[in-house]
């Protein structure tokens, strides 16, 4: 029994020794700092999965890009950099009502005002139509130029009103869609870039 145990023990020790030698020869370290895979394998793998995760930006922000975003000179001292960075973060913070939201409010107010004007015009047209209907003296005659002009005036007013209403409605939809799209894009970019910008400037 003991000879078998000793044989197995010796074989195990030999196997471990051979394994360690193989690891050493292949450049593998147990602390994970080196890899058995080729040097470019991990980089290519990252590029494969992260190629389009930040579309429109470089994968790693350079210092020149960071200074360009802050619109300052590379020789600017750290205190000034901190102040400019703070102001930029405050300006682009989604909770502070930035210029995009303010512009959206202005446009919405303008469109609301235009809509009220159209409603007033619509009310006026309706009243005119009712006045014609309720007017007992108004009798259409095929040879009456006055009656033809009245109908023509009503028709033109209705068509003009409908055309303007369609334009305003389409304009409101397009403006709202583009403003919201731009707003969420800015928020996303600010979140994605904030940490990279801070790290690049102060680390």
- Tens of pLDDT, residues 66-104: 778 778 888 888 888 888 887 777 776 666 555 666 777
Q: Does the residue 124 lie in any domain?
A: yes
Q: Does the residue 24 lie in any domain?
A: no
Comparing 182 with 29, the larger pLDDT belongs to 182
Number of domains in the chain: 1
Q: What is the pLDDT of residue 41?
A: 45
Percent of the residues in the chain that have a pLDDT greater than 90, as a whole number = 0
Q: Does the residue 42 lie in any domain?
A: no
CA proximity to 153, closest of 120, 117, 125: 125
Length of the chain: 203
- The alpha carbons of the chain give a radius of gyration, in whole angstroms, of 37
Q: Does the residue 103 lie in any domain?
A: yes
Q: Crossing angle, helix 99-134 and helix 145-202, to 10 degrees?
A: 170
Identify the weakest region by mean pLDDT among 14-23, 42-51, 127-136.
Answer: 42-51
CA-to-CA distance for 192 and 50, rounded, in angstroms? 14
Q: Does the residue 46 lie in any domain?
A: no
Q: Does the residue 14 lie in any domain?
A: no
Question: How large is the average pLDDT for residues 41-51?
Answer: 45
Q: Does the residue 67 lie in any domain?
A: no
Domain with 172, as residue range(s), is 99-202
Question: How large is the average pLDDT for residues 194-202?
Answer: 61
**Is 37's pLDDT higher than 60?**
no
Question: How large is the average pLDDT for residues 51-70?
Answer: 64
Q: Does the residue 111 lie in any domain?
A: yes
């Amino acid at each position: 029994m003991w000879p078998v145990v000793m044989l197995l023990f010796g074989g195990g020790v030999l196997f471990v020794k051979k394994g360690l030698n193989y690891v050493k020869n292949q450049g593998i370290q147990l602390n994970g700092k080196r890899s058995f895979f080729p040097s470019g394998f991990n980089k290519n793998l990252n590029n494969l999965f992260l190629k389009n995760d930040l579309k429109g930006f470089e994968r790693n922000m350079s210092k020149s890009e960071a200074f360009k975003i802050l619109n300052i000179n590379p020789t600017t001292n750290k205190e000034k950099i901190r102040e400019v960075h703070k102001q930029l973060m405050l300006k682009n913070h989604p909770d502070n009502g930035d210029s995009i939201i303010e512009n959206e409010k202005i446009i919405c107010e303008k469109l609301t005002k235009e809509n009220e004007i159209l409603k007033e015009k619509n009310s006026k047209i309706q009243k005119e139509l009712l006045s014609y209907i309720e007017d007992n003296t108004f009798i259409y005659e095929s040879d009456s130029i006055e009656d033809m002009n009245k109908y023509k005036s009503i028709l033109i007013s209705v068509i003009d009103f409908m055309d303007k209403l369609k334009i305003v409605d389409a304009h409101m939809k397009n403006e709202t869609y583009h403003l919201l799209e731009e707003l969420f894009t800015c928020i996303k970019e600010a979140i994605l870039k904030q940490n990279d910008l801070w790290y690049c400037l102060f680390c």
